[in-house]
Structure 1
Amino acid sequence: MKIITEKSALLKPLSHIQGVVEKRNTIPILSNVVIKADEDGLSLSATDMDIDILEKFNCNVINPGSVTVTANIFYDVVRKLMDGSEIQIEFNGGTASLISNKSKFQLPVLPVEDYPNLNQDDLPINFKVTVDELCKLIDKTKFAISMEETRYYLNGIYIHKHDKKLIAVATDGHRLARTSISLPSGADLINGVIIPRKAIYEIRKLIEDFSHDDQVSISLSDSKIRVKISNTIITSKLIDGNFPDYEKVIPKNNDNIVKLDCLVFSESVDRVSTIFSDKSKSVRLSLSKNNLSLEANSPDTGSASEEIGITYDKDDISIGFNSRYLLDVTSQIGSGDLIMALKDSGSPALISLPDDTESLFVLMPMRV
């Protein structure tokens, strides 16, 4: 095998590949990337046995062939080469050589025959969304994915259909995020699937290089999801579990409505929570007529308080929230107004946007 390509053409697909590969692996060959050259160009592929990735691009193929090399070392070598460099990769048995300008690397290889076959079977449900739509489904919800492995069914984003909408939900038991887009053609057969956290992050990283209106092809079965954009395909196993009935935790009778500037509120929360060594400590919100007082107290590092103007004309309420959770929500809203609906100091808050009726967030209160 012998190919010639440029750094820029090789680096981007390698960055996608090395995100899938686990650096520490009990099966040595799973730390490798498969490089295959043929008349169609060069393909790079890898798997961790849960997620597969395949990426193809054009290059000068002098001799076809295939080889596997350690993914993270290969990526680091290419990343550190001079921008605009021409790269020659050659394998004649033994080791693979990479030559660029006056640099030469000899990389150990493992047999391609020992690498697991990537499953490219057809999946029954097929539809398309734009990059912008897929970004919305992921970005508005991924921060609420649970990190606790014991509740594995919360370790991803739940995708399902309802009332001609494709809905994405994530929760860790302390907060919940939900958003939706119009149901794409072909997605009406979805019963509900849970896409794992790692797959979510790799898909999001992949699509950020494309325009908002580019099309993403999505295929689903009961156990797998496949996402294809341009010449890259990511296939992942789905989480085999039942997502809880999240509708039960969305407040229905929160009548104390607060309207405030999201950016002003976010900056205020960030300032008062500076006294905490981490952002997981609670901030007390005290509401009175058209006024919000924020307070943070730590026996070790002091206290902070700040007041901001709001639109509110109901009874006084004092309630505490995890400051990091508040900042996670405000980061998804950005500028503009935020609507917070409260019931009392011990009940969940419902946060929404006046100009986005498809998205909502639920936060459980904390004792302060």
Structure 2
Amino acid sequence: MLVPAKVLAAAAKAFAGVAEVEISMTGQDEKFGGGLLGLSGGGLSTTTRLLDPQFPNFRALMPKEFEAHADLQAGSFLEAVKRVGLVAERDTPVKLTFADGQVTIEAGTGDEAHGVEVLPVKWTGEPMTIAFNHTFLLEGIAATGSPAARLKVVSEIRPAIVVGLAGDGEPVPGYEYLIMPIRLSS
């Protein structure tokens, strides 16, 4: 069974002092995805819907060839995206513009708050602007566990890949993070 991680983390905190926790589960229903999981004990109880165990075929989305890539210092890039992301509404993308050895990170629109950061970057390819959900971008870069990361892109509207970089600048094997860009309105 697949259980949402946030639910399990919250349940672990809530039931930390409970000696015994009872787990119950309803049957899987193919039409509606997973069943329900219930946890109870110590006068507390919680219920959550199980996740559908059928994942999309993400391997079909993984690009094989790339038009460009950016080598980023993970720490400074993450901090800049976090700062700029503070002004991003829930569904507002963070725009990355790569050109001339730098990346301009922007979020916010119109009369709302607007954030901009510029960082040096090793960019290989034609100048490009691509946008992502800032939370997904942060998670992908942070999960590399590397001091540097590479963002490999095909185009502004095709899936991109994030990989960690070793000290010699070579990709760290075993980790690829697929991230879907957000189409920008003209």
TM-score normalised according to structure 2 size: 0.70
Change (3 A) 1:248 1:309: same
Counterpart among 115, 120, 128 of residue 304 in structure 1: 115
Aligned-partner residue type, residue 305 of structure 1: V
CA distance in 1, matches of 2:12, 2:129: 46
Matched with 1:252 is 64
Deviations 1:114-153 (CA, angstroms, capped at 9, x unpaired): xxxxxxxxxxxxxxxxxxxxxxxxxxxxxxxxxxx8xx8x
Shift of 1:243: 3.3
Query: Counterparts of 1:1-368 in structure 2 under 5 Å?
Result: 16=12, 44-49=20-25, 71-73=41-43, 155=51, 239=53, 242-278=54-90, 280-355=91-166, 356-368=172-184
Shift of 1:305: 1.1
Shift of 1:284: 0.8
- Asked if structure 2 preserves the Cα contact closer than 8 Å seen for 1:261 and 1:335, the reply is no
Change (3 A) 1:307 1:73: same
Change (3 A) 1:17 1:52: farther
| Worse-superposed segment, 327-336 or 262-271 | 327-336
Matched with 2:8 is none
* Larger radius of gyration between Structure 1 and Structure 2: 1
CA distance in 2, matches of 1:251, 1:295: 26
CA distance in 1, matches of 2:138, 2:78: 6
- Asked if structure 1 preserves the Cα contact closer than 8 Å seen for 2:67 and 2:155, the reply is no
TM-score normalised according to structure 1 size: 0.37
Aligned-partner residue type, residue 308 of structure 1: L
Aligned-partner residue type, residue 57 of structure 2: D
The number of aligned residues is 154
- Asked if structure 2 preserves the Cα contact closer than 8 Å seen for 1:258 and 1:312, the reply is yes
Aligned-partner residue type, residue 290 of structure 1: G
CA distance in 1, matches of 2:87, 2:93: 11
Deviations 1:284-315 (CA, angstroms, capped at 9, x unpaired): 11111311111112335221211101111321
Pairwise CA RMSD of aligned residues?
A: 3.0
Shift of 1:367: 2.4
- Asked if structure 1 preserves the Cα contact closer than 8 Å seen for 2:149 and 2:162, the reply is yes
Deviations 1:46-104 (CA, angstroms, capped at 9, x unpaired): 11225699xxxxxxxxxxxxxxxx724379xxxxxxxxxxxxxxxxxxxxxxxxxxxxx
Shift of 1:45: 4.7
Shift of 1:277: 4.1
Secondary structure at the residue paired with 1:333? coil
CA distance in 1, matches of 2:14, 2:84: 39
Secondary structure at the residue paired with 2:135? helix
Q: Percent identity?
A: 19
Secondary structure at the residue paired with 2:80? helix
- The structure that is strand-richer by fraction is 1
- Asked if structure 2 preserves the Cα contact closer than 8 Å seen for 1:289 and 1:313, the reply is no
Gaps of 5+ in 1: 1-14, 20-32, 36-43, 54-69, 76-148, 157-238
Aligned-partner residue type, residue 285 of structure 1: L
- Asked if structure 2 preserves the Cα contact closer than 8 Å seen for 1:284 and 1:296, the reply is yes
Shift of 1:258: 1.1
